[in-house]
Amino acid sequence: MVAVAITPEHFGLDHDSELLRFSTAGSVDDGKSTLIGRLLYDTKTAFEDQLQHVEDVSRRRGDVRTNLALLTDGLRAEREQGITIDVAYRYFATKKRKFIIADTPGHVQYTRNMVTGASTAALSIVLIDARHGLVEQSRRHAQIAALLRIPQLVFAVNKMDLVGWDEARFRQIEAELREVVTRLDVHDFVVIPISALTGANVVERSTEMPWYAGPTLLHHLETAPVATDRNLSDARFPVQWVIRPQSPESEDAHDYRGYAGQVAGGVLRAGDEVVVLPSGVTTRIAKIEQHGVTVEAAVPPMSVTIHLEDNVDVSRGDLIARPHNAPVVSQALDAMICWMTDKPLAPRGRYALKHTTRWTRAIVDEITFRLDVNTGEQVAADGLGLNDLGRVKLRTTTPVIFDPYARNRTTGSFILVDEATNTTVAAGMLL
């Protein structure tokens, strides 16, 4: 096999070839689906038959313009009610970058869907209706985006056409937003005035707002850093699968043993000394393969197969790290969770916990507080209901190998599952 050199693109340094995952959020009827429809339409990503169908539906409904929101509101219930219910994932591309969009619901009862859609985003667009300014849901979604440690926030002040393209109104909302993000400890954010309906400042610069000198929304999306949430300092490799040759007659059958998975942090190279957790056995990396080809190094989010110099006991769910830079190994967990089911969480509740590639069982020792996402206030609580966010203490039956969520979003997150119904009941961030 030939060795492949690692280029800057592997480290997320080349914006032109990168994929940006971003989510949209905001209150009901702030124009999230219309904005995404506009991006799909103006970048010529929507198929002709999709556009024709949307035009037909818009005409039957009596809409004055083609309703671009119908490109994303795919559920029949969404179209009938004019709201987004589920997370709608859409893909589009420009000459500079590829994008995956998570169009998340705005209604308060679907907060859990917003958390799900934003959990893997490198950037979040929070829409604000210029007529109404910051409302409860705008503040809620900004708070959740900050809690999820989404590296970059874009506040799109939409429907500027309905306030006469008024600069004073925009500056008023911009000032309120700066006050909000200061309290949330958000540092990387921009505020852009747009009209998703007309397309102003979405893809093309608006002629109606000459007082705005910043980038259009698409230009910002094309140039925003995409690897700001990748931890390249702490080597982390959760083992997903142990690979052995299928045929016992294979000449490599007794010698070949690879450990497949996705790099969750740091840079791994052949020759590196590593530790296998939770056993604590140390060894070195013999070689790294990707698609059967040897590579010099592996970085997030590459999926690779690692070979070790020694024949050590490694199983699915184990984690490979550096000996002097190891993650936390503990059965006592402190976490923020979003409760995602109608049956409330109560102390002493028992659940299955999935963390990276490892399953264990957990019991809720304590509910420390419930977070008021509108004010940031910590409220005493003896339970958590649907869409609530709160801090809890968990105890697991086997050790969990993790980093704080603020340091690594992959090794710092988990889900709780009700084993009786196989329902995911919570998403969590380890502290």
> Which tens digits make up the pLDDT trace of 273-326?
999 999 999 999 999 999 989 999 999 989 999 999 998 999 999 999 999 999
69 — phi, psi (to 5°)? -60, -25
Looking at the structure, tell me whether residues 254 and 198 fall in a common domain.
no
**What is the model's pLDDT at position 67?**
62
Q: Is 12 inside a domain boundary?
A: no
Alpha helices in 148-243 (DSSP H): 167-184, 217-223
When comparing pLDDT for 14 and 63, which is higher? 63
Query: Coil, strand, or helix at residue 426?
Result: strand
Provide the CATH number for the domain around residue 341. Answer: 2.40.30.10
Count of domains forming the chain: 3
Looking at the structure, tell me whether residues 146 and 253 fall in a common domain.
no
CA angle 230, 236, 238 (to 5 degrees): 115
Looking at the structure, tell me whether residues 316 and 337 fall in a common domain.
no
Q: Report the relative pairing of strands 281-290 and 273-277 from DSSP bridges.
A: antiparallel
* Range with lowest mean pLDDT among 34-38, 163-167, 419-423: 34-38
Looking at the structure, tell me whether residues 112 and 171 fall in a common domain.
yes
Looking at the structure, tell me whether residues 270 and 400 fall in a common domain.
no
Looking at the structure, tell me whether residues 101 and 151 fall in a common domain.
yes
- Cα separation values, 171 from 187, 274, 421, Å: 19, 53, 50
| 75 neighbors 86 (Cβ within 8 angstroms) | yes
pLDDT-derived band at 225, boundaries 50, 70, 90? confident
**HEC secondary structure over 303-364:** EEEEEECCCCCCCCCCEEEECCECCEEEEEEEEEEEECCCCCECCCCEEEEEECCEEEEEEE
Q: Is 372 inside a domain boundary?
A: yes
Provide the CATH number for the domain around residue 217. Answer: 3.40.50.300
pTM of the entire predicted model: 0.80
Domain's final residue, options 303, 321, 339 = 321
Q: Is 13 inside a domain boundary?
A: no
Share of the chain residues as helix, strand and coil, in percent rounded to the nearest 5: 20, 35, 45
DSSP-assigned letter for residue 4: B
| 127 alpha carbon, distance to own chain's centre | 18
> Which tens digits make up the pLDDT trace of 263-275?
999 999 999 999 9
| 130 neighbors 160 (Cβ within 8 angstroms) | yes
Domain's final residue, options 195, 223, 251 = 223
118 closest CA partner among 107, 108, 128, 105: 105
Q: Is 229 inside a domain boundary?
A: no
* Separation between Cα atoms, residue 113 and residue 119, nearest integer Å: 10
Looking at the structure, tell me whether residues 213 and 240 fall in a common domain.
no
Looking at the structure, tell me whether residues 30 and 65 fall in a common domain.
yes
**What is the model's pLDDT at position 87?**
60
> Which tens digits make up the pLDDT trace of 108-139?
555 677 777 777 888 999 999 999 998 887 88
**What is the model's pLDDT at position 142?**
84
Q: Is 8 inside a domain boundary?
A: no
When comparing pLDDT for 52 and 190, which is higher? 190
Domain's final residue, options 257, 290, 321 = 321
Which domain covers residue 419, as residue numbers? 328-430
413 — phi, psi (to 5°)? -120, 160
Looking at the structure, tell me whether residues 156 and 304 fall in a common domain.
no
